[in-house]
């Protein structure tokens, strides 16, 4: 259906929701176009053609209106709204259990993604952390919990292959979570206008096995380290209600 390849656990639910909505609205669209086309051909002005004088305010018209209103509300609105709530709960509504999830912190800054891994002790802000730029490595098969706080303006953490998007705001913590099913390298896009080089804010999401990710983190830590200075801005933006 034209979507990028789906590599997430719940992504297919969204594709299916799109399919249902597509066929329902297409049916309504074809009905409108069919009646429109029929009227233009059948009722075009011709010599001797007399229009039927009616204000369409009789009982029949009223019943037709009520019937259509009911059909549209129940057939399209309620139908899609209920499915949407189910898909939303599965896709975004139920945050994973932090203990089991693979947690990272992402702090977008004008035109780069700062990413922090907690390291073995599972705590952020300790010396075994790792900070990288635009490179996110996550394990497949395990829910990933991403905490987002922006350093300057509003950015939006967009993973098209995982069908999720979450704005990152300064002074507010937002969360995004997904579970990868396929390994491989995918792209991270910034979906909220964040400045003159908004288009350059591209990141990479590498999905590997647990071992590969752990080994990558250990290897990269010698090179990059924790860079605590950068993350002082992160703690300063903490709000009680986060």
List binders of other proteins among 96-115 (CB under 8 A): 110
Task: For residue 109, give every residue at least 6 positions away whose Cβ sits within 8 Å of its Cβ, in sequence order, or none.
Answer: 150, 151, 152
CB 116 to other proteins: min, Å: 16
CB 209 within 8 A of CB 183: yes
Q: Please state the length of the chain.
A: 242
Select 28 or 214, whichever has its Cβ closest to other proteins. 28
Select 188 or 226, whichever has its Cβ closest to other proteins. 188
Per-residue contact flags (x/-) with other proteins for residues 16 to 55, judged by CB under 8 A: -xx--x--xx--xx--xx-xx--xx--xxxx--xxxxxxx
Q: Which of 120, 123, 127, 187 touches other proteins by CB under 8 A? A: 187
Select 209 or 235, whichever has its Cβ closest to other proteins. 235
d(CA 216, CA 213): 5
Q: Kindly calculate the radius of gyration of the chain based on its CA atoms and give it in whole angstroms.
A: 26
Residue 214 near other proteins by CB under 8 A: no
Task: For residue 225, give every residue at least 6 positions away whose Cβ sits within 8 Å of its Cβ, in sequence order, or none.
Answer: 130, 131
Window contacting other proteins (CB under 8 A); options: 112-120, 122-130, 138-146, 233-241: 233-241
**What end-to-end distance do the CA atoms of the chain give, in Å?**
38
CB 183 to other proteins: min, Å: 16
Q: Specify the DSSP class assigned to residue 162.
A: G
Q: Specify the DSSP class assigned to residue 180.
A: B
d(CA 97, CA 120): 18
Select 56 or 222, whichever has its Cβ closest to other proteins. 56
d(CA 21, CA 176): 25
Tokens of 19: 């399919």
Select 81 or 218, whichever has its Cβ closest to other proteins. 81
Residues of span 190-209 touching other proteins by CB under 8 A:
190-200, 202
Residue 72 near other proteins by CB under 8 A: yes
Select 128 or 167, whichever has its Cβ closest to other proteins. 167
Residue 59 near other proteins by CB under 8 A: no
d(CA 36, CA 32): 6
Per-residue contact flags (x/-) with other proteins for residues 153 to 182, judged by CB under 8 A: xx-x-x-xx-xxxxx-xxxx-x--------
């Amino acid at each position: 259906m034209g979507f990028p390849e789906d590599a997430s656990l719940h992504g297919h639910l969204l594709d299916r929701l799109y399919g249902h909505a597509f066929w329902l609205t297409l049916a309504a669209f074809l009905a409108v176009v069919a009646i429109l086309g029929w009227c233009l051909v059948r009722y075009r002005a011709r010599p001797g053609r007399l229009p039927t004088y009616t204000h369409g305010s009789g009982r029949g018209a009223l019943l037709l209106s009520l019937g259509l209103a009911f059909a549209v509300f129940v057939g399209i609105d309620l139908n899609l709204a209920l499915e949407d709530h189910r898909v939303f709960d599965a896709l975004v509504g139920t945050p994973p259990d932090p203990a089991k999830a693979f947690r990272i912190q992402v702090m977008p800054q004008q035109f780069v993604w700062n990413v922090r891994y907690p390291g073995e002790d599972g705590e952020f802000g300790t010396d075994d952390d790792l900070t990288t730029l635009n490179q996110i490595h996550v394990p497949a098969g395990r829910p990933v919990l991403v905490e987002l706080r922006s350093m300057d303006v509003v950015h939006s953490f967009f993973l098209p292959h995982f069908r999720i998007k979450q704005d990152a705001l300064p002074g507010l913590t937002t969360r995004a979570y997904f579970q990868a099913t396929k390994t491989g390298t995918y792209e991270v896009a910034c979906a909220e206008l964040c400045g003159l080089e908004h288009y350059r804010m591209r990141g990479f999401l590498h999905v590997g096995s647990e071992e590969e990710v752990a080994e990558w983190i250990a290897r990269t830590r010698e090179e990059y380290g924790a860079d605590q200075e950068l993350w002082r801005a992160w703690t300063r933006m903490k709000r009680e209600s986060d």
